[in-house]
Structure 1
Amino acid sequence: MQTMAMAFFFFFFFFWVASSLTDFTVITSDSSSPLVDAPQQGFSSHARTDDEEQRAVYEIMRATGNSWASSVQDVCRGRWHGIECMPDRNDVFHVVSLSFGALSLDTAFPVCDQLTSTLTPALVKLTHLRTLFFYQCSSLNPTLIPSFLSELAPSLKTLVLRENGHVGPIPADLSKLSNLKVLDLHGNKLSSFVPPSLASLSKLRMVDLSGNKLTGDVPRFGSAELRVVDLNGNDFHGQIPPEIGACRGLIKLDLSKNKLVGVIPSSVSELDQLILLDLSNNQLSGPFPGWLSSLKSLKTLVLSGNDMSSGTINGEAFNGMGRLTTLVLSDMGLHGPIPSSIGLLSSLRVLHLDGNSLRGPIPESFRCLSDLSELKVNDNQLTGPLPFSRKVMWRMGIKLRAANNKGLCYMAETAAEAAPPYLAGVPVCGHATAAAMVAAVPMASPGPVAAADKAPRLRRGG
């Protein structure tokens, strides 16, 4: 699951970089801005950087261990990768984007000195700043997120302080950033509760507070503008707020690895644009939600590690979910049969049903899962043959886990090799039938007289 989680992270992070470049590096038109948003054809002879902003950039660069920038005569004209500028109508250039950290080999933003880097108050001198991006800059110099960042409210749209070593609470003053669209505080050591006012940022499209030590209730987000809410890996408790159903534009909702309780609110069924829903490893309870079929856009559903032993899997829960590629329902205390409707999910590639109390055969409809590449049904009470073709069995290989089901078996002709190691503990179907018949014969121990009476008699010759 760790590999899967990393895949989810990279998919959605780079999805946002690709689809929301305006929030990260490319500056687009803003009708309320005093800056000239038209494409620039180089610099005129009298173009220059605003003097106060130039001094501020020098100080910001020094505070991150990049003193070399002080030798750049004009930071906008001689700009490096990681700084973007735009002119006003007097041909004075202003800094609109600052980025730091080696996000990837292809993204060569200035690298910070992790032992000494800080966020300096000089940042507020950049009164036209729209994007502020710090990645792994002060990881070895833990600091609070400074409240003075709220003074960037008129212009700031993207605030990324990712894996930056920040500690303490999220400042309530960040809720003054009324134009903020992206808030990414992933992978710090932030603690305490999230200021309730943060949920009132009406223009917010992406919020990632994952991988911290935040506690208290889940913020009551309710904006239709939101596309991504990621709060995984914290200590949030209480119930999932029903207001989340008002975030009709959500494509990703990840509340996994917290301490959430209660049932999954039915308002989640209103999120008809949702692509990923991960509520795993909480303390959520049943019954198993029957409204999942309303999430027609869903591709990844992960509910594992929640005790829903109060019921079975609703047979109609997955009707019409033809886009679903990943379904993870491990360790949920589920019982009863596996619904045949799962076998009709033609796009399914990853299916985890392990660690439950599921009974009966794997439905014949599973033969239709021609794209399946990973299956875990181990540690259940399943019976009968694995209903997959030789090609699907070969593709799954070691990603097929079916052990610890006393009645489950595989057809010898479907295995890619004799006694494949990935089917250890799963017998060939003929052998399984014979073993079951032997196990069904009463084995009462006869008394000595009865044993003698039933002993075979030898006929003597002559």
Structure 2
Amino acid sequence: MNKFHGTIPTKLFAKKNMLRNLNLNGNEFEGSLPRSLQNCKNLEVLDIGNNRINGTFPHWLESLPMLQVLILRSNKFYGSIANPMARFPFRKLRILDLAHNEFSGKLPAEYFKSLMAMMEAITTKFEYMGKDYYQDSVSIKMKGTFMELVKILSIFTAIDLSKNNFEGEIPKVLGNLRSLKGLNFSHNKLTGSIPPSLGNLSSLEWLDFSSNQLVGRIPQQLTDITFLEVLNLSNNRLDGPIPTGKQFDTFGYSSYSGNMGLCGLPLTKSCSNNIDEAQKEGDEDEQTNAFDLWKIVVIGYGCGVVIGISIGYMALSDRRIALFFMKKLGGERWIRRIRRWKG
């Protein structure tokens, strides 16, 4: 690792160059990323992580037809990631690492729709990038730990957008990236629920959505991810019972801590207690409502008796008052009908 500093020359990359790997990771470069990189049509790996590069997302890189690894981690990029300009952006991209910047706005769902290399069916054929020349190597955060990949398997795919200011919901379209190995959206401002479509990520080995503002229940469909080794949903606003079965039976307390509404193992909060308490409250409400209804009936019945007694008393004590009530209530009409019926 070197400590080069200053800016990257704007006209460094000439047209029709044969550059296929550019690794400037771990230096002190600043300024913006030179647009002359668009001339690198054979570029497969671009790693400028851990520098001081600034500017908005370099969307013009999407037109590079061979780009498979894009690492912009730990720089000073900012702003929202707009919709792609190219018709087929980043079609061969396998590793996308934008972590630890100042990106904001919604997650780039339109780009996710174009990541064809992450949608490909899993193959058992193991090949390394750069097999015909020297092998490529990058440093990637995998399962919560930084690892140096001395060789990059062509089937390795990962997305890391952690430690930014992304907001809004997690796009359902991520469920189409079936060959994805790792997904990290932790330490953002994401809201909404976890899409059940993520259960389609059958090759996923680590999933980190911690330290966001996600709500709702953990989808039962996530238990279908049988290769999942690391799960971190801590410090959100999730609720309801934690799914059980398969890999979910192996995750510990730290996977769910900081979600006050969650219950069930491995947490100490029991879901059955919550159900019993809710049932008890419901029964108490039902009893209260029934009691209130009976009070109304009794009061109405009592009022009727009192009124009846009062009218009877008045009828016996004052014939004129009785005749008054008979006229108002149509009593005379009913007396005439009764007499006809008897006659």
Shift of 1:320: 2.0
Shift of 1:371: 8.4
Matched, 1:257 2:136: no
Task: Give the AA of the match of 2:90.
Answer: C
Structure 2 residue aligned with 1:212 = 51
Instruction: Output one character per residue of 1:306-339: Cα deviation in whole Å (capped at 9) or x when no partner.
Output: 1112x212222x1421000100001110011111
Matched, 1:315 2:183: no
Structure 2 residue aligned with 1:201 = 40
Matched, 1:345 2:183: no
The 1-side partners of 2:174 and 2:231 are apart by 16
Structure 2 residue aligned with 1:115 = none
Structure 2 SS opposite 1:221: helix
Q: Please, which of 385, 395, 404 is the counterpart of residue 264 of structure 2?
A: 385
Q: Can you give the 5+ residue segments of structure 2 that lack an aligned partner in the other structure?
A: 119-156, 282-343
Q: Which moved more, 1:342-351 or 1:171-180?
A: 171-180
8 Å CA contact 1:243–1:267 kept in 2: the answer is: no
Structure 1 SS opposite 2:183: strand
Structure 1 SS opposite 2:196: coil
Q: Please, which of 160, 175, 186 is the counterpart of residue 293 of structure 1?
A: 175
Matched, 1:359 2:239: yes
Structure 2 residue aligned with 1:369 = 247
Matched, 1:329 2:329: no
Structure 2 residue aligned with 1:418 = none
Q: Please, which of 7, 20, 23 is the counterpart of residue 184 of structure 1?
A: 23
The 2-side partners of 1:344 and 1:335 are apart by 21
The 2-side partners of 1:303 and 1:289 are apart by 12
Structure 1 SS opposite 2:202: coil
Structure 1 residue aligned with 2:78 = 237
Structure 2 residue aligned with 1:92 = none
Q: Can you give the 5+ residue segments of structure 1 that lack an aligned partner in the other structure?
A: 1-162, 387-401, 403-408, 410-425, 442-462
The 1-side partners of 2:232 and 2:18 are apart by 41
Instruction: Output one character per residue of 1:106-150: Cα deviation in whole Å (capped at 9) or x when no partner.
Output: xxxxxxxxxxxxxxxxxxxxxxxxxxxxxxxxxxxxxxxxxxxxx
Aligned residues: 235
Task: Give the AA of the match of 1:198.
Answer: L
Structure 2 residue aligned with 1:405 = none
Structure 2 residue aligned with 1:221 = 61
Instruction: Output one character per residue of 1:337-395: Cα deviation in whole Å (capped at 9) or x when no partner.
Output: 111111111111000000100011112xx312178466511000234321xxxxxxxxx
Structure 2 SS opposite 1:198: helix
For residues 171 and 249 of structure 1, do their structure 2 counterparts lie closer, same or farther at Cα, with a shift above 3 Å needed?
Answer: same
Structure 2 residue aligned with 1:449 = none
Instruction: Output one character per residue of 1:202-226: Cα deviation in whole Å (capped at 9) or x when no partner.
Output: 1100000000011002222122201
8 Å CA contact 1:216–1:236 kept in 2: the answer is: yes
8 Å CA contact 1:308–1:334 kept in 2: the answer is: yes
Structure 1 residue aligned with 2:114 = 270
The 2-side partners of 1:293 and 1:213 are apart by 33
Q: How does 1:444-455 map to 2 (within 5 A)?
A: none
For residues 306 and 171 of structure 1, do their structure 2 counterparts lie closer, same or farther at Cα, with a shift above 3 Å needed?
Answer: same
CA RMSD of aligned residues (A): 2.7
For residues 173 and 216 of structure 1, do their structure 2 counterparts lie closer, same or farther at Cα, with a shift above 3 Å needed?
Answer: same
Task: Give the AA of the match of 1:297.
Answer: S
The 2-side partners of 1:384 and 1:373 are apart by 14
Q: Please, which of 279, 283, 288 is the counterpart of residue 161 of structure 2?
A: 279
8 Å CA contact 2:239–2:263 kept in 1: the answer is: no
**Higher RCO structure, 1 or 2 (CA under 8 Å, sep 6+):** 2
Structure 2 residue aligned with 1:110 = none
Instruction: Output one character per residue of 1:30-84: Cα deviation in whole Å (capped at 9) or x when no partner.
Output: xxxxxxxxxxxxxxxxxxxxxxxxxxxxxxxxxxxxxxxxxxxxxxxxxxxxxxx
Structure 1 residue aligned with 2:8 = 170
Percent of aligned positions that are identical: 30
For residues 369 and 202 of structure 1, do their structure 2 counterparts lie closer, same or farther at Cα, with a shift above 3 Å needed?
Answer: same
Instruction: Output one character per residue of 1:235-274: Cα deviation in whole Å (capped at 9) or x when no partner.
Output: 1012235258611111101001000111122222221323
Q: Please, which of 226, 232, 247 is the counterpart of residue 90 of structure 2?
A: 247
Structure 1 SS opposite 2:200: coil
8 Å CA contact 2:170–2:190 kept in 1: the answer is: yes
For residues 200 and 286 of structure 1, do their structure 2 counterparts lie closer, same or farther at Cα, with a shift above 3 Å needed?
Answer: farther
Shift of 1:197: 2.2
Shift of 1:185: 0.2
Q: How does 1:395-410 map to 2 (within 5 A)?
A: 409=267
TM-score (norm 2): 0.63
Shift of 1:174: 2.1
For residues 371 and 246 of structure 1, do their structure 2 counterparts lie closer, same or farther at Cα, with a shift above 3 Å needed?
Answer: farther
Task: Give the AA of the match of 2:237.
Answer: S
